[in-house]
Amino acid sequence: MDLDTILGTLPDSSEHAPYFGKYVALAAGGNILATLERHLGDMQSLLTSIGEERGGHRYAPDKWNIREVVGHVNDTERVFAYRALRIARGDQAPLEGFDQDRYVLAGPFGRVSLADLGREFTAVRQATLALFRPLDAAAWMRRGLANQNEVSVRALAFMIAGHQRHHCNILVERYLS
């Protein structure tokens, strides 16, 4: 498969755990690098529209607040990009999972402004793009084991984009409506 096809075609179900299919589907729509770049602008616009005073808002008592959601998106992108780095470089050591709820509980999100979390998202996304842009076709298709499931570098890129889109949709539908 050539690089344009790899970047523009959704990963098949053998490239990721079934759970992540919903995120992969949300990243459909062309070249994954262009999608990641477009989603960067989308997130910046969304966070700017929310306003700092709403950063602590929860749509239900047992749900994360807006700052925690953004912190979770940042943390998850870092974890997925780290997995992609290791797999792209040919590291075959199994990668552990992570407990998203513990990450949020231990995160500094209660004392970090929404604006700072937005700047962090931008930095994380730019680092993710810098990791992905120079990869060749072989690296994009390389597979490894993460959280006891086989995953390709390509699937991780789509998962990053789709995970962000999923949480942006939740922010709009449940927090801001």
Domain 3-10+19-175 - what CATH class?
Answer: mainly alpha
Residue ranges of the domains in the chain? 3-10+19-175
Q: Decide if 154 contacts 140 (C-beta within 8 A).
A: yes
Per-residue model confidence (pLDDT) at position 95? 98
pLDDT computed for residue 29 by the predictor = 87
Q: List pLDDT tens digits, range 38-92.
A: 999 999 999 999 999 999 999 999 999 999 999 999 999 999 999 999 999 999 9
Query: How high is the pLDDT of residue 32?
Result: 98
Q: With bands split at pLDDT 50, 70 and 90, how would you rate the model's confidence at 167?
A: very high
